[in-house]
Chains A and B, each alone.
Chain A
Amino acid sequence: MTAARHTLYTVLSIIIVTLILLILPYLGISAFMISFLLSVYIWVTLAVSWNILSGYTGYFSFGHTAFFGSGAFASAVTDYYFNVPYFMTIPIAGAVTAGMAAGLGIVTFRLRRLRGQFFALTTVVLTFVSSIVVINNWGDGIVMHSVKAFWPFISIPHIFYTLALLLCVASISISIAVYRSKLGLNFFAIRDDEEAAEAIGINSFKNKMIAFCISSMLVGFAGAVFAGWVKYVWPETVFNLNYSLFPILMTILGGMGTWVGPILGGVILTTIFQIVAGGEAILNNIILGSLLVVVMILLPQGIYNLALTGYRRIRPLSRQTP
């Protein structure tokens, strides 16, 4: 089949799935399911966006927390202090985080030697720096103005459910689009061998900037949606290291470097964490940890690649480096 046909099928599938998920609240699923699915969408967005940067280009980022927290606070601050309508704060949050990424990228992507390590460190530093700036200025936390429910939404959580869903779908679409485009090929080339890629004419600086900015913009949006949903925005909770760590785990679990991996990992881990909440918490965590270890041993390339290998019986199709 041709590329055009393939794209058509992809787009159609995405639209259909999105519509189904959009309708779910109208079909009367419980408020808990709406809440749970909302958190799934947010985690998947975080994982997918992390993958676009780190899975595709190979530049490990520990900075998702920085962007998530900054996005959340950008939304909260503009909402509370400047009375910007909530829906407008979302693009503002994305712009802020993309700007942060651009600024950081200009400094770090130019340097030639040992870039990967350096970049990883700067993302760690960014997390500290942004959280401290926020704590010192808005340490008391911000209570956002309530969003009013309006047609066609049946309730306030429904609004956020829809926002989170649309954001998640957008992230996945971007991820697939990049994966199949020349841009994606550039990213993979950078991951495989940056010097060789530059030798054949790929502008690694520009490509990395694009990856970083897209990735962090999506995270900024996610932070804004989260802020609106919980309404009470505190530095300690939105600058939680989990937001950096879990997307990494989810992506590796699901399969790094493919577009499916982070989705699988995100959904599975979020579901497991929710199931684990009841009962004997400490024992559950021990079991969970042990299971994770076992899974990672058995599935070296992540779950998705196991599925592929199982199906195909020759080495995985994806452009993975081990």
Chain B
Amino acid sequence: MSWMPSTTAIMQSLLTGTLIGGYYGLFALGFTLSWGILDIINMSYFPFAVLAAYITYTTITILGFDPFFSLIFSIPSFFIMGVLMQIFFNRFKIDIFRSLIITFALFIVVENTLSYIWTADVRRAPVGFLGGSFFIDTIYIPIGELIAFFVGILIVLGNLIILRRTKLGLALRAVAENREASAMWGVNYSRTALIVGGLSMCYVAIAGMFIAVFYPFTPTQGHVFIGRIFAVTIFGGLGSVTGAFIAGIILGVAESVAAILFSPSWSPLVAFLLLMVILVVKPTGLTQR
């Protein structure tokens, strides 16, 4: 590439990379909570996110409402589904290894059910202003991505408040630290787990809504995210919502800047190598726990 990007282009890449990275982080929030606190690697979150996308799509095309409206349907139902899944995991004492295979089986069931109901065809909903941008001089700020970013920040802040200020938060930290010991101190793991399970699914619902806003999608859309979400989760520190979000941003920025400096076909490699380097320096991930 003989062409060198201007400073504007680089600044732009930093900006869009941050926003997109924030979305990756948002997507990973439920996943990291589940893995870090509940010891469940929940692969089924990916097709569930696509389910939330279909709900959003239906809300937009059939009901004619704003995509955010779909959250009224998806958040309560996903919370319940999350709780039910966790009841199931608690009841059968699923450990982390079995969780992988069981949730993968669920992945197959959910994805194929989506195919069955909506066919494998591509769907794309019109999203109006969410597909546009603000312009500051020649720098553009995509609106949909910006909103997703702020939602992510809200969740992270909310999470921090819960963790530091409430009893539930205390229970969560205790459980993540040492499940047996926390039980001795009176933390009801089962009940805490249900709340976490439900909450994680809510985050998945939100991330899924944005899938319908950003992309045309099919039932198998979840596959695209698997690698990055795994990386972001581990990199951010299992169970750490803040860590996952920041990890997502770093990944997004690295990919974006690498795409503009080198070539888009090499950018994921650069981004992941960067992750590796940072991890060598700090192997516990960004935030402990």
Q: Chain A interface (Cβ within 8 Å of chain B)? A: 62, 107, 111, 113-115, 117-118, 120-122, 124-125, 127-129, 132-133, 135-136, 241, 245, 248-249, 252-253, 256, 282-283, 285-286, 288-293, 296-297, 300, 322
Contact = CB atoms under 8 A, between A and B. Distances in A.
Given A128-B272, A135-B265, A300-B92, 16 more contacts: A111-B280, A120-B234, A241-B223, A245-B104, A249-B101, A252-B97, A252-B98, A252-B101, A283-B116, A285-B108, A286-B112, A288-B108, A289-B109, A293-B109, A300-B95, A300-B98
Interface of B: 92-93, 95, 97-98, 100-102, 104-109, 111-113, 115-116, 223, 226-227, 230-231, 234-235, 238, 265-266, 268-269, 272-273, 275-276, 279-280, 283-285
A292 B107 CA distance: 11
B238 to A, nearest CB: 7
A60 B166 CA distance: 35
Binding site secondary structure of chain B? helix
A117 B108 contact: no
Contact of B269 (A128, A249, A289): A128
Given A125-B275, A300-B98, A289 B105 contact: yes
Given A125-B231, A128-B268, A282-B115, A292 B105 contact: yes
A256 B95 CA distance: 13
A260 B191 CA distance: 38
A127 B269 CA distance: 10
Contacts of A136: 265-266
A121 B266 contact: no
Contacts of A132: 265-266, 268-269
Contact of A121 (B106, B107, B231): B231
A248 B100 contact: yes
18 contacts: A114-B285, A121-B275, A124-B231, A124-B234, A125-B273, A127-B227, A128-B231, A241-B227, A249-B101, A252-B101, A282-B112, A285-B109, A286-B116, A289-B105, A296-B98, A296-B105, A297-B102, A300-B92
A241 B224 CA distance: 11
A122 B277 CA distance: 10
A133 B268 CA distance: 10
B97 A292 contact: no
B150 to A, nearest CB: 28
B276 to A, nearest CB: 5
Contacts of B111: 285
B96 to A, nearest CB: 9
Contacts of B92: 297, 300
B283 A115 contact: yes
Nearest to A128: B272
B109 A121 contact: no
B276 A122 contact: yes
A297 B94 CA distance: 8
